[in-house]
Structure 1
Amino acid sequence: MTFTARPTSNAAVADHDPAAPVSGDFEEFIYLISHDVRNSVRALIELPQWISEDLAEAGVPLDGSVGESIELMNRHTGRLDRMLVDLLTFSRVGRMQAIVEVDLQQALDEVLDEIAVPAGFTVERDLSCDRFRLGERDVLTLLTALLSNAIKHNDRTVGKIAVSCRTEGAEVVLSVEDNGPGIPPKFHDRIFGAMTTLRPRDEVEGSGMGLAITRKIAQLYGGDVAILDTGSARGSTFEVRWPV
């Protein structure tokens, strides 16, 4: 792909606040760079597999430092690919889609079919409001980000996630509650920044973009997202609000 990027100073990029709104020009830059770089990353993902096959055909055992190095390559290229996918998702919020009346039950079914819900996890629903207007792709992205976050960070083999939706005055209120380890109040603002993780990526794989994507979608439709302070030592409840 050939493109001409709009002028962007190095200082502007270096000083960018990951929690601040992203301009249209910067979003386009993110999209184009992520799309093109991912083409190269796909080749890097396949490269360790080719090396492994060649070594196996040559009779070289894939153990010790050789096996560890190949595993390290697989882990880091996979991590880079996930980051690029999430950056592409972030840049696509609000783009190239229709605003439709969403069937929340159907949207949840579609998302739960796509994400890997562990065998010991249950997802409960309390949807007094199950229809509202939103971008047809943004609603799937929003649910995927919230549910994946609840699953990924849970430190138990038996997990419980509760999804609820209601109208409150002139707002739609969507919440996702989990029984995970919880998030200390001092981090409640920080977690919505792009590329932000509270635990090392070697412990929990993730790009740190999920909650940033959630906030971007909420604000695009005139609302916002927050983590509620329930006073409990465990568990988190994320609440997304936007005008009816």
Structure 2
Amino acid sequence: MTHPQLYSSLDVEIPLGKQPNTAPDAEEFIHLVSHDLRGSIRALLELPEWIAEDIEESGLEVSPSVHSSITLMKRHTQRLDRMLFDLLQYSRAGKMANIQEVSLQEKFDAVVKEIGPTSGFRIDHDFGCGSFLIDEADLHTLLSALIGNAIKHHDKFSGRVKVAAWREGSDLMLTVSDDGPGIHPRFHERVFKPMTTLRSRDEVEGSGLGLALVRKIAGSYGGYARLISTGAERGALVEVRLEGGNIGSAT
């Protein structure tokens, strides 16, 4: 069969004197490379299907082993595409480029809708504050990463996630708790490192950037992100503080 032309450039030009030797330069480099590579990844997602179609059109049958290999190629390519997407998100996080008054309730509703149906999971919230000043994309990323992480790493098909927010002086406090398997205290710092997972990616799909994103954003606002030991046998609780010097509550 005839396939459309796939265009993808892997040439990323970095101006002289702009090599990634500082944090901002490194983030820009990651952004450029990740964005460019995604074009090739999209092509790789299409090629296995085209190969199978060409085999069938030639009058041959796609053997089970070939079909299995094609499925495996697609799975790993999708995993790479997700990793590059998350790297792009990481390079943009915490820029505070669009500070505005954002409704926590509206953003929470949008994130839950985006995550999609979570059959068996209940996502509750308890907001002691209303709208506040923050980069809308940063708040979206915070909530999406924290809620998604709690659901993805749960060890059951049903469970509960709770999001709470309140003011402490001029600071915004945000916690996300769940009733999943929990995280041993010795791993409480490790899970915030980029590209880190405690389980094989064959068990739980993910790039290992979720909590790293959360900590980067919190740090950009002069705050922190940490895991809190609750003393319970199950469950995890992530606490995020965003300093009020960068946030102002309207209600």
TM over 0.5: yes
Residue 164 of structure 1 is matched in structure 2 by 164
TM-score normalised by L of structure 1: 0.90
Report deviation, 1:171.
1.6
Residue 151 of structure 2 is matched in structure 1 by 151
Aligned to 2:166, what secondary structure does the other structure show? strand
Question: In 1, distance between residues paired with 2:221 and 2:19?
Answer: 29
Residue 77 of structure 1 is matched in structure 2 by 77
Q: Which amino acid aligns with 1:91?
A: S
Is the 1:196–1:209 contact (alpha carbons within 8 Å) kept by the matching residues of 2?
yes
Residue 40 of structure 1 is matched in structure 2 by 40
Q: 1:131-176 CA deviation, whole Å, 9 max, x = no partner?
A: 2211011111111111110111111111111010011233211011
Aligned to 2:85, what secondary structure does the other structure show? helix
Residue 17 of structure 1 is matched in structure 2 by none
Question: In 2, distance between residues paired with 1:117 and 1:155?
Answer: 18
1:225-236 → structure 2 map (5 Å cutoff)? 225-236=225-236
Residue segments in structure 2 that go unaligned for 5+ positions in a row: 1-10, 245-251
Question: In 1, distance between residues paired with 2:200 and 2:75?
Answer: 14
Question: In 2, distance between residues paired with 1:103 and 1:96?
Answer: 17
Give the total of aligned pairs: 232
Cα distance, 1:116–1:225 mapped onto 2, change above 3 Å = same
Q: 1:112-135 CA deviation, whole Å, 9 max, x = no partner?
A: 111134211111110011322110
Is the 2:154–2:180 contact (alpha carbons within 8 Å) kept by the matching residues of 1?
yes
Report deviation, 1:44.
0.5
Report deviation, 1:58.
3.3
Cα distance, 1:70–1:152 mapped onto 2, change above 3 Å = same
Is the 2:94–2:216 contact (alpha carbons within 8 Å) kept by the matching residues of 1?
no
Report deviation, 1:8.
4.5
Residue 14 of structure 1 is matched in structure 2 by none
Q: Which amino acid aligns with 1:210?
A: G
Aligned to 1:163, what secondary structure does the other structure show? strand
Report deviation, 1:61.
3.6
Instruction: Tell me which structure has the larger Cα radius of gyration.
Output: 2
Report deviation, 1:52.
2.2
Structure 1 residue 4 corresponds to structure 2 residue 14 = yes
Q: 1:28-73 CA deviation, whole Å, 9 max, x = no partner?
A: 0110110111111110111112122223333444442111111110
Greater shift after overlay, 88-97 or 171-180? 88-97
Question: In 1, distance between residues paired with 2:234 and 2:62?
Answer: 42
CA RMSD between the two structures:
1.7
Residue 184 of structure 1 is matched in structure 2 by 184
Q: Which amino acid aligns with 1:7?
A: Q
Q: Which amino acid aligns with 1:3?
A: E
Q: Which amino acid aligns with 1:41?
A: I
Q: 1:162-194 CA deviation, whole Å, 9 max, x = no partner?
A: 010011233211011111111111100000011
